[in-house]
Structures are given as structure tokens and as C-alpha cells.
Structure 1
Amino acid sequence: MRGQVTVDSTVDRRVRRSRAALFDAAVRVVSERGTTAVSLTELAETADLSRQAVYSHFTDRDALIVAAGVDLIEREVFPQLIDCDDQDWRAMTLLATCHLARYWQFYRAVGTGPCAYPAKQAVLAAVAALRDRPGGHLALASGDDATFVVGGCFSVFTQWLDESDDPLDPEAMADRLLAMADRLLGGMLSD
């Protein structure tokens, strides 16, 4: 196929292991520090990789941190989201709020730091990929609607993660989001 590179399966496994180690290192270090202002060298050392290995996967630290966040969402939230009934807004919202509460230190640092805009863009791309996947059944917004919804949710989530007392209450946050969505949609969710 045009543009496709054939990769030896052993190399592919090494690439997957390296990326997984980098994602794990990024989530752990950013969560522990409470900031995305960590060095690429520290992330590489935590992942037990060289800086060159990191640069073979990512252009910079922020790209690695954003990719780690997207990987977390794709691995932990999307598989469950796909299994939800399209009309079970509470279950879908609760999946997101529980996930964010579990990794609150990481997502707070991402949402309040220089990674915030690239993270929003990456979430938009992930939502588009989820929406457009073959056999997908979720009725997700696209275009300007998706930008509006994702941007608004991102801001509300970041404020919740940054300003709420620990422990976070994912159920209360899900209720807040659903009430807000219902108001914006003129009561369509409560019908």
C-alpha cells in the first residue's frame, strides 16, 4: 500500500514496549510532580530509554505527555464507552469523570500547563476517530459542535480538577455536567 511501511514484528513489539514505557513514565512523573515542566531526560530515564529513543517517537516533551494522556483515554475509557447504550448519558459521563478523578494529578497538570491546547486538539482527534470507526454507534458531535463541546468540557474538567477538594466526587461532577448539558439542549436529556 502507498505510504505504508512494512515493519518486522519484533521491531513492532519493541516500539510498542518503548511507547508504553514512555507513556507510563510520563503519567507517573507528571502526577508525582503536579506539573508538565519535567525534563525529557527524566522521562527517558524513568522509562529506561535513551533520549534518542524518545526523539525517535516524539518531537518534544509536550507531544509525549499529550500522547500519554490520549493513550490513557483510549485504553481505559473508549472501550467501555463503545459498550454503552447511546442514550445512557449518565453512564458515559460517569466513565469520563471516574477516569479523570483516578488520574486527577496528571490531568490537572496537563489542563493547566502548556500542554492544554495540544491536549484539547488530541482529544478532538480521538473523538473523531471514535465517531468514524467502522461499526461505531455513538452519536458524537463533529466539526464546530465537537470543538465547542470538547473545549467546554475540557475547561469544566480542568476547573474541577484544579479547584475541588480531594477526594474528587465523580458522581457529583457527572450530575453537574448532565444538568448543564440538559440546560444547553433545552431539556432534551431529561425527556
Structure 2
Amino acid sequence: MEESHAYSINTEIDANQTALLSKVNGATITKMSFEEVGEFVLSVLIESTTVNLLIINNPVEEADEDEYPKFEIKSVNDQPQNLEEEVMVKIVEGVEVIRDKITWQNDNLNWDVRSDIAIKIKFKEEQICLIAHDSLAGFIKKEFIKSEDRKEEDLLLDQFWSMKTDLPQSHERERIMV
């Protein structure tokens, strides 16, 4: 009988980065800039009345020798080059981190993964959902969502795990207000 092996993987945003995100909540965003690559972006710069944040997806290699998307959020003073600007004056009504807890099995290998797969910034008229894409390049999928209906959002988010598994044993989604 073959021995089974378990991988426990965690790519959650740490407390310091969550605290930075919370500074945008209630603030007025004056400009969002994106480093665009086709249908994806490599970085997002949020300029607000309280803080300027740079958001990237910095994939990390885990014990199973596979790369997993991981958001990195930092406060910045200087604007990086090569960003497409979108000038806006909008008040942030909420910020959510979307965290998935998922398990799956393949042969005698088991995965237990906790990952912050998306950051959602809510405005009065729309929401922007930044989804960490499973790619070596660290792509982020940027989606503007007009409705509060979670069906559209869940369809986008459910595609996240398609690169890892087609048959999750369990899958829980948590929305964390910051």
C-alpha cells in the first residue's frame, strides 16, 4: 500500500498588508493605474487621499514544487513606470479580501490550500475585482462589476482553481471586510 502525502499551502495576505488595504476603505480614490499586458495586469496602483498602494501578484513556490498566486500590497511614494492611468474621483464604500479554503486529492497526494484569491473594492456604482491569476508571470485579472449579484462574481472566481484541480473535495469561500 502506497503512503499518502499531504500538502498544506497558505498564500493569505498578512496582517500588515490587510492593514494597508483598510486605509483605502472610506477614502477617496483619485487615480488607479494599471500595468496592462493583454487582458491582464501586472500591477495596480491606487492613489487615494489616505495612502498610495501598489498591488501585485507575486507567485510563490510551495512544497509541492508548484507556483501559487500571492498578493503583495505595499505603500508607495513614487509611481512605477509603464502604467495606464484611469483618473477617477470615487469614494471607497468597502474593501473585501476573498479567501478560498479548498482541498483535493490526486493519486495518493492530498492538498489543503488557504488562499486570498481576490481583492474587491466597492464604489457606489460599481466594484472592481482584482483576481490573482495562476501564472508564473504574476498576472492579475481586473474585472469591473456593475451589479451586487454574486453569481457573476462567483463565476469569475470559480475559474481560479481550474489550473490546479477539476475535482475539489471541499471548497469554502470567505469574504473578509477590511
| Greater helix share, structure number | 1
Superposed pair shares fold, TM > 0.5: no
The one of the two structures with greater contact order (alpha-carbon pairs below 8 A, sep at least 6) is 2
TM-score by length of 1: 0.28
By percentage of residues, which structure has more strand?
2
The structure having more radius of gyration, on CA atoms, is 1
